[in-house]
Structure formats: structure tokens, C-alpha cells
Amino acid sequence: MPVALDPHLEQIRTVEPRTPTGCEECLRMGSPWVHLRLCLTCGHVGCCDSSPLKHARAHAHHIGHPIVASYEPGEDWRWCYFDEQFV
């Protein structure tokens, strides 16, 4: 998969997952999730767009941290929610 140049890549930091066991908001609410995404700016763990509440996307747009990585075992990819592309 080709990696596109994205102006938001400069926001990537070395992060530790804030809630390594699941989506931060879903854990608080007792809500289910499908897959997890890790914010590469602050370490927020949110649920994916296939999950009922889409917390990773909400975090990106509300807080302004656009780049996430898959937080699923065996997956190694990053996505920019602002530009809707793999990075």
C-alpha cells in the first residue's frame, strides 16, 4: 500500500496508549466496540468507524489530532481522518 505525503504527519509523537485495554469512552460508558485506533499525537484509544459510537473519529475532529494507527494485533497502518487517506 503506497504511503501518501500528508501535511499532518508532523503531529505524530511517540505515545503510550492511555487505555490499553479498550476504547477510552466505551470503557467508561460500558459500550461495545469493533476495532481500536490509537491517536498518534496523544495516545487516546478510540473505537473505529465500524463501532456504534466512532470515538476515534470524534476525537480526531473534536481535539484536532488527525493521525491514528490501528491498535489491533497484526495490523500496521496509519490513517489521517482529516484527509481521509492512509499515511
Hey, is 60 helix, strand or coil? helix
Residue 6, pLDDT score: 82
Pair 55, 47: CB distance under 8 Å: yes
The identity of residue 74, as a single letter, is: G
Binned average pLDDT, 10 residues per bin, the chain of 87 residues: 73 97 98 98 98 98 98 97 95
The domains of the chain, with CATH numbers, are: 10-86 (3.30.40.10)
The answer to whether 80 and 87 have CB atoms below 8 angstroms apart is yes
C-alpha of 32 from chain center: 16
